[in-house]
Chains A and B, each alone.
Chain A
């Protein structure tokens, strides 16, 4: 049937935000530096070099495993995954295969119905990132490619979920929860290019499974899955079969395309990495203390500040946002929650900016002005925009734009003027046309240049019309 259940499992690669690479001492902070400036004989794969495991990276991975309730086997080991690709300096990737760092565990997300849902994890393992290819001459017509090994050897964890997800929305929620948790743990920097890469397995119940490779953002994951569901359903509706294959997500077009699946079938010839003794790290877990994680913080925001579950969820879904909220919450957390979750986030999204760029002191002043009733919600938004776009102080913005809430006489005279200028609208209102009131209120707001409280205007306009 074409409306069969959607079944999704994810394999998520995240870069661990350690100072140095997984098997050598090179710095991982190459963001502002030229290609091949953060390299050494080890991460270049020069003959004779040997890997030595970065203890910090193991600790970071164990933190993640503990946060997601995984089981840590007594012993784990690294293996070699052998394949030829020009970004892979050794001709193999050091990863974990049949003896990973962590098994089982789960991530709790909000389900489609609004309740809680446990998404089971299969495993978490550690591996090294390969280098990066730069194709010169543009796309598939590139004449040659250059290799940048700055990324070579950056520590990754791969988190594999069971096929427990039932919609692209759940997949997005899982990734958001994962990202938030990793940030709370202090092991992850989403801002780094390529810090998150996802492979998704998706099928419609009763049909073959398709793997979508290398999606590099979580908006991309939702898009790719949504496209893929439509594609698979329409195949099934037409009576065609879904091929078991690997597809690639084309970010620019929001579609997936088949890769040359048969040619790309690999036999990776895994075997234990002979240069690294097995790791016995199960006992380290006891020494790892976890910080407050998103779920606990959400509960606290509800009990401590009295926030609604939706506000609490939004505000704790991102570490920097939660910290920002707590800094500015002051003695009116409900008002602040509304301003941060419902207004500020939208303005930031529109500007593609992060919460970190918001000036705490000026945002506080804005809230204080609103709380004192100096400005309305409506003009508050205008002030907020100016706070985000200029270095000006809120008080000075209010003064410059004349946004301070005014005495009632101005509203009264504005209403009187509007009623006499708009006889048709008044007649419409009296004839029972509901939106005539909105129109008239808009005219009043325009005359007061937004300084009036819209609810107040509505109430008094109704009174005036009733006379």
Chain B
């Protein structure tokens, strides 16, 4: 099938195996996940031509499960964006409406699944990068609990926030893919040895679902709010107990998120010096001059902006005021969640404040950062969160976000399955 949406950076022919839990099913892989023998660029010109000599742990697991890996999907460069327009290889278009962005940064994976080019896809979620494109493209996307899927082979953007996660057209498929990729890996010592081995049970009967007022505040499109409120009523109709709650730490979440992720990124991206991989090569200049030139030439604007922000936030004299403070705010967000999960089983709200933007609509970086406000809290706290389609506004998909306790991805998936069953029945 033709890739009319620029979902893929590279397509490959791999038949998969005849047996195994994912036998012969096509899986698209976000291009920040290392694949032995397949060029892996992170959507960046600085990794053009880089062919990893090893498979990420999740890729090894996919191959063993019989999956047919059918290509590497487009993303915002190194995952830095909310639209998949910040790719060094051109934007991906939204299959629902090709004048719109697919969301980001896993926009290529979402578009591949939404367009039917792949059965399943792997995305990565640092501040919403699975859930946002799932919401914008009308598919299901799960950000697992931090420490439940090995990150070995995921090219780091912000290590303490990001996870690899499954994307598919149904909750059942998301669950099936999650089962395969959540196997233990001694090479990632932030893993907690809690593999996901659950079969979804489509039920919310008796579950207490908290609705944080902050998820319906200023900046959220009222039409999106209304659609999500309808979804919550649907859940209530299925036997869930709806509880209004409040999350005061939400107002610090975005700042804590951007300081943390840019700080980590400034360090993670230091290795791209043009010496061992990517373009670079012959230069008569001194090493420092040569690598400065390579980085200036091949990193995109948003990447350079975030490296500068992060470098500043970690600098002597500013560390306490920025990075240090962000960690305090982060602990407060996690504390808020913990408090809420003492009295509710799940939290629900919109995934994104709006429907998919028009291409070019978010030219101003700050307005792009603001679009992440409802997704970043889950990353700061490391909790599981899913986006499941809950209808349309003006013909564009809206996502319902469900968040759960750490390591209780099972309840999140069960509730999403219950909602999906109710609305597709």
Contacts and interface: CB of A to CB of B under 8 A. Distances in A.
B314 A84 contact: no
A82 interface: yes
A30 B390 CA distance: 59
A50 interface: yes
A269 B287 contact: no
Contacts, number: 100
A277 B159 CA distance: 12
Interface in A44-81: 44-53, 80
Contacts of B264: 271, 274
Interface residues of B, number: 44
Contacts of B53: 41, 46
Interface stretch (A85-93, A184-192, A435-443): A85-93
Contact of B270 (A53, A82, A147, A275): A82
B275 A86 contact: yes
A133 to B, nearest CB: 10
7 contacts: A41-B53, A47-B156, A90-B270, A269-B267, A269-B311, A271-B267, A274-B264
Range of interface residues on chain A? Answer: 20 to 34
Nearest to B78: A47
A35 B186 CA distance: 28
Given A80-B267, A82-B270, A269-B315, A47 B34 contact: yes
Interface stretch (B146-154, B227-235, B411-419): B146-154
A276 interface: yes
Contact of A46 (B52, B151, B270, B275): B52
Nearest to A25: B187
A91 B152 contact: no
Nearest to A89: B271
Interface string A225-269: 000000000000000000000000000000000000000000101
Contacts of B258: none
A157 B244 CA distance: 54
Contact of B152 (A44, A50, A90, A92): A50
A463 to B, nearest CB: 79
A272 to B, nearest CB: 9
Interface string B136-161: 00000000000000011111101110
Contacts of A82: 266-267, 270, 314
B159 A275 contact: yes
Interface string A127-152: 00000000000000000010100000
A48 B267 contact: no
B160 A274 contact: yes
B250 to A, nearest CB: 23
A86 B160 CA distance: 26
B189 A277 contact: yes
Interface string A97-139: 0000000000000000000000000000000000000000000
Contact of B54 (A41, A80, A90, A92): A41
A51 to B, nearest CB: 8
A47 B267 contact: no
A46 B288 CA distance: 20
